[in-house]
Amino acid sequence: MSAVGITSQQQQSIFSVLSAILWLGNICFQPLSEDAVSVAPASGEAVQRAAALFRCPEAALYAALTQRKLVAGGERITRHLNLDAALDNRDALAKALYAELFSWLVDQVHSPVLSCVCTCAPQPGCREGCMDV
């Protein structure tokens, strides 16, 4: 990664995000009712480690995994997620984080290549073909 200009600090952040995404996959839920879940007690370590790697409070990660916040008519509403919604929410969070990280990595790989190859005025499609993903 150093060859394409990714610093050691950025590399550490990449590995932290990837590790946190993997820890998200270890988080299980238990139903509190038909319309609400909590993180299963056995998943406490996974939440703790993911939160530490994301550098966010554990309570914020718990809330993000089990609740949905809406604004309707200027009023803030917090709704609890059912089991299926919580599982989908956890997986969507992992997918979104991975997609953003991958996109950033592709841009980092393209950047040194583009500075050598695309020295002409920017044209539509100038970036195509630098890295086929």
| pLDDT value at 131 more than 70 | no
Q: 113 lies in a domain?
A: no
Which range of residues forms the domain containing residue 64?
10-106
- CATH number where 84 lies: 1.20.120.720
| pLDDT value at 64 more than 90 | yes
What contacts 105, CB < 8 A, 6 or more positions away?
6, 14
| pLDDT value at 88 more than 90 | yes
pLDDT at 8: 86
Confidence of residue 124 (pLDDT cuts 50, 70, 90): low
Domain count within the chain? 1
* pTM for the model: 0.77
**How far apart, in whole angstroms, are the C-alpha atoms of residue 43 and residue 20?**
13
